[in-house]
Amino acid sequence: MSAPNPGISFIELLAYVDYLANRWLTFFRHHPEALELEVDGDTRTIADLILHLIETEEVFARFLYERQPPEGIPTPGSERAQDGGRFPMLPSEGGQRDRHFLG
């Protein structure tokens, strides 16, 4: 007899992360001014920080799906970070690749 697994599966974890991301996207669609709040560190605004997280997710999803090693983690000043905080309209390619990989 095996002991019950006290954790959650990887697919359940991805579903939860997707759920949280959708909650934040909904919040930012209703409160776009929150994206322009300044933060400390290498990112200037909340929008810059979120774009950095999305780009990093895409780097590692590409590594998982295409088996290409990451060339580097995107920096907050990268090309897409100059997009003016339009991330709620940008689908996360990394998340789509994760779901496709897990099929």
Q: What is the pLDDT of residues 53-81, one digit of tens each?
A: 888 888 888 888 887 776 665 555 555 44
Contact between residue 97 and residue 65 where contact means Cβ atoms under 8 Å apart: yes
User: How confident is the prediction for the chain on average, in pLDDT?
Assistant: 76
Domain ranges in the chain?
A: 10-102
For residues 50 and 91, which has the higher predicted lDDT (pLDDT)? 50
Residues 6+ apart with CB under 8 A from 43: 49, 52, 76
pLDDT value of residue 16: 93
Return the pLDDT at 82: 47
DSSP string covering 35-61: GG-B-SSS-SBHHHHHHHHHHHHHHHH
Q: At residue 37, does pLDDT exceed 90?
A: yes
pTM above 0.85, yes or no: no
Nearest to 59 by CA among 17, 98, 14, 9: 98
